[in-house]
C-alpha cells in the first residue's frame, strides 16, 4: 500500500500509511521535523514508510510508546540510517525483547520487531527554534509520552487524543490514568495537536479539553446507572450502544465494555 496522504503543516511533514482504511484508527501518520522522525509506523507498511524516510535521511527517531503501530519499523530505520531510536524508559525492555500481539492487531499493523533503544531525554534541542519536551502521559500505555514543540505550541500527542468522543478502549488501558494525563497536558501551552491517527488537529487544546469533558460525563453517567443497579452490559448498551464488529473481531480486547466498565470506577475528584 503506498502513502495514503502527505501531511504538511508549518514545518512538520507527515505520511499517512495503513493496510486498511476502515476507521480512523487503522491508518497511521509518521511525522518528521527536519531530520527527526516521530514514531516509525507499523511494520506491514514498511515500503510506504521507507519511501517517506528516504526523502530526507533521518538523524533521530523518537518513539512516543512501544505499541506496534508506533514502533513497528524502528529496527529497520535504526539499521538503515545507523541510529539508535530514543524511547520512553518504561517501554524500552518491551521494545528490546519484542512481544506478541492479538490476531486482529497483527492483521492491521503486522508484528512488532525487537529494537534496541536509548532513553528519551526530558528536553531535546533540534535547532534554535525547536525544543522538544517529553511529557510522560501514562494511561493508554505505561510508557506513553507526548512531545511538545515549545516554541510553536505543537503537541505530538501519540495516542492521547484519538477522538473527542471515545467509544472503545483496549483491555490494558487505564482510564483513570489517561484522564489524569489529559489534565496534566491541558496545563501546557499548545494549540495544534499532531495525532498519530487523526492527523493534524487545529485548536487541539480545545479538542482535548472537550475529550476530557466527554469522558467525565461518561464516568458520571456510568456511575449513576451502576448505582441504579444496572448490569455492566446494560450500562454499555445505554451509553455506547451494543458492541460492534471491532469488539467482536478483537475478541473484546478492544471494546466498549473496557471503556464503560472502567468509567463507572473512575474517581473524578482525584483528577
Which residues of this chain interact with Zn ion, rule CB under 5 A?
67, 159
Q: What is the closest distance, in whole angstroms, from the C-beta atom of residue 230 to Zn ion in the complex?
A: 31
Q: Is 67 or 257 the residue whose CB approaches Zn ion more closely? A: 67
The neighbouring-strand residues paired with 198 are none
Q: What is the closest distance, in whole angstroms, from the C-beta atom of residue 50 to Zn ion in the complex?
A: 22
Q: What is the closest distance, in whole angstroms, from the C-beta atom of residue 195 to Zn ion in the complex?
A: 11
Q: In the chain, where does DSSP find H-type helix? A: 46-55, 68-71, 74-81, 89-97, 103-109, 175-186, 204-227, 232-240, 245-249, 256-263
Q: Is 145 or 192 the residue whose CB approaches Zn ion more closely? A: 145
Q: What is the closest distance, in whole angstroms, from the C-beta atom of residue 197 to Zn ion in the complex?
A: 9
- 8-state DSSP, 269: G
Task: Using CB positions, name the residue nearest to Zn ion.
Answer: 67
Nearest in space to 159 (alpha carbons), one of 137, 132, 184, 185: 137
Q: CA of 140: how far to CAs of 19, 23, 212, 227, in Å?
A: 23, 19, 14, 27
Q: Is 75 or 159 the residue whose CB approaches Zn ion more closely? A: 159
Q: Is 67 or 92 the residue whose CB approaches Zn ion more closely? A: 67
Q: Is 71 or 225 the residue whose CB approaches Zn ion more closely? A: 71
Q: What is the closest distance, in whole angstroms, from the C-beta atom of residue 69 to Zn ion in the complex?
A: 6
Q: Is 91 or 261 the residue whose CB approaches Zn ion more closely? A: 91
The neighbouring-strand residues paired with 147 are 134, 156
d(CA 110, CA 103): 9
Burial class (CB in 10 A: 0-12, 13-18, 19+), 118: exposed
Q: What is the closest distance, in whole angstroms, from the C-beta atom of residue 268 to Zn ion in the complex?
A: 24
| Dihedral in degrees, nearest 10, Cα atoms 93, 249, 159, 71 | 40
Amino acid at each position: 500500500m503506498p502513502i495514503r496522504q502527505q501531511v504538511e503543516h508549518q514545518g512538520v511533514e507527515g505520511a499517512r500509511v495503513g493496510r486498511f482504511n476502515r476507521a480512523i484508527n487503522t491508518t497511521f501518520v509518521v511525522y518528521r521535523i527536519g531530520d527527526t522522525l516521530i514514531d516509525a509506523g507499523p511494520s506491514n507498511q514498511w515500503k510506504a514508510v521507507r519511501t517517506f524516510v528516504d526523502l530526507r535521511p533521518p538523524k533521530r527517531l523518537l518513539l512516543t510508546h512501544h505499541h506496534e503501530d508506533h514502533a513497528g519499523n524502528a529496527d529497520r530505520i535504526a539499521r538503515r540510517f545507523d541510529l539508535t531510536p530514543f524511547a520512553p524508559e518504561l517501554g524500552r525492555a518491551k521494545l528490546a525483547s519484542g512481544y506478541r500481539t492479538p490476531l486482529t492487531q497483527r492483521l492491521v499493523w503486522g508484528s512488532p520487531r525487537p529494537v534496541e533503544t536509548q532513553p528519551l531525554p526530558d528536553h531535546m534541542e533540534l535547532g534554535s527554534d525547536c525544543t522538544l519536551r517529553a511529557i510522560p502521559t501514562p494511561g493508554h500505555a505505561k510508557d506513553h509520552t507526548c512531545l511538545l514543540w515549545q516554541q510553536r505550541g505543537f503537541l505530538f500527542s501519540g495516542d492521547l487524543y484519538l477522538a473527542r468522543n471515545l467509544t472503545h478502549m483496549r483491555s490494558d488501558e487505564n482510564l483513570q490514568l489517561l484522564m489524569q494525563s489529559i489534565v496534566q497536558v491541558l496545563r501546557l501551552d499548545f494549540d495544534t495537536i499532531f495525532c498519530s491517527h487523526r492527523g493534524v488537529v487545529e485548536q487541539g487544546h480545545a479538542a482535548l479539553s472537550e475529550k476530557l469533558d466527554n469522558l467525565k460525563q461518561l464516568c458520571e453517567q456510568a456511575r449513576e446507572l451502576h448505582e441504579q443497579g444496572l448490569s455492566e452490559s446494560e450500562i454499555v448498551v445505554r451509553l455506547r450502544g451494543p458492541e460492534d464488529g471491532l469488539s467482536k473481531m478483537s475478541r473484546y480486547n478492544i471494546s466498549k465494555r473496557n471503556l464503560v466498565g472502567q468509567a463507572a470506577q473512575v474517581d473524578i475528584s482525584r483528577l
